[in-house]
Amino acid sequence: MSEWSDLPKELLQTIAKCLDSRVDVLRLRSVCTSWRSSVSFPSFDEEIPPLILKLPQPIGIDAVLFHATICRMEFSHQNANSSSSESNSKGWLTKIRVSKLGKLKLVHPLSDYPIMYSPFTLNLLDFRFFELSKAFMLKFPFGFPLYEVNKVVLFPISARCSKYEISILAIYHEGKLGYWKYGDESWTLLDDKNFQYDDIIEYKGQFYVVDRWGTVSWIDSSLKLIQYSPPLFGCGGQKNLVESCGDLYVVDRYLDGERRTWNDYENLDVNFPARRRTYRMCNPNATDFRIHKLDEEWGTWVDVKSLGDRAFVLGVDCSFSISSGDFFGGKGNCIYFTDDDNFKGKGLSSDSIRVFRLENHIIEKVTTLPEYSQIFWPPNFGLTGSNSAPKFNVTC
pLDDT in tens, 7-44: 888 998 898 888 866 767 877 877 778 888 888 866 55
Model confidence at 366, pLDDT cuts 50, 70, 90, reads: confident
Higher per-residue confidence, 34 vs 378? 34
Cα–Cα distance, 326 to 56 (Å, whole number): 43
Strands of the sheet with 310-314, listed across from one edge: 319-323, 310-314, 334-338, 353-357, 362-365
Cα–Cα distance, 257 to 186 (Å, whole number): 33
Mean pLDDT, range 151-155, rounded to an integer: 91
Does a cis peptide bond (omega within 30 degrees of 0) precede residue 230?
Answer: no
Which of 162-171, 238-247, 255-264, 265-274 is the most confident on average? 238-247
Does a cis peptide bond (omega within 30 degrees of 0) precede residue 378?
Answer: yes
Cα–Cα distance, 155 to 73 (Å, whole number): 28
Cα–Cα distance, 161 to 46 (Å, whole number): 6
Q: Is the pLDDT of residue 282 over 70?
A: no
pLDDT of the residue at 253: 95
Q: Is the pLDDT of residue 123 over 60?
A: yes
Cβ(170)–Cβ(152) under 8 Å?
Answer: yes
The helix (H) or strand (E) run that includes residue 37 is helix 33-38
Instruction: Name the phi and psi angles at 289, rounded to 5.
Output: -135, 150
pLDDT of the residue at 207: 95
Q: Is the pLDDT of residue 83 over 70?
A: no
Mean pLDDT, range 298-322, rounded to an integer: 93
Cα distances (Å, whole numbers) of residue 278 to 63, 120, 135, 165, 344: 16, 35, 22, 31, 11
Q: Is the pLDDT of residue 163 over 90?
A: no
Model confidence at 288, pLDDT cuts 50, 70, 90, reads: very high
pLDDT of the residue at 99: 55
pLDDT of the residue at 275: 53
Model confidence at 124, pLDDT cuts 50, 70, 90, reads: low
Higher per-residue confidence, 156 vs 48? 156
Model confidence at 180, pLDDT cuts 50, 70, 90, reads: very high
pLDDT of the residue at 121: 60
C-alpha radius of gyration, the chain, whole number:
22
Q: Is the pLDDT of residue 233 over 80?
A: no
Which of 14-28, 154-168, 279-293, 299-313 is the most confident on average? 299-313
pLDDT averaged over every residue in the chain: 79
Cβ(51)–Cβ(113) under 8 Å?
Answer: no
Buried b (16+ CB within 10 A) or exposed e, 361-388: eebeebbebeebbbbbbbbebebbbeee
Mean pLDDT, range 131-135, rounded to an integer: 89
Q: Is the pLDDT of residue 346 over 50?
A: no
Q: Is the pLDDT of residue 165 over 80?
A: no
Mean pLDDT, range 147-160, rounded to an integer: 76
What is the three-class DSSP state of 73?
A: strand
pLDDT of the residue at 352: 78
Lowest mean pLDDT among 19-23, 119-123, 134-138, 319-323: 119-123
Model confidence at 278, pLDDT cuts 50, 70, 90, reads: very low
Question: Which burial class, exposed, middle or buried, applies to 177 when counting CB atoms under 10 A from its CB (0-12, 13-18, 19+)?
Answer: buried
Q: What is the pTM of this model?
A: 0.83
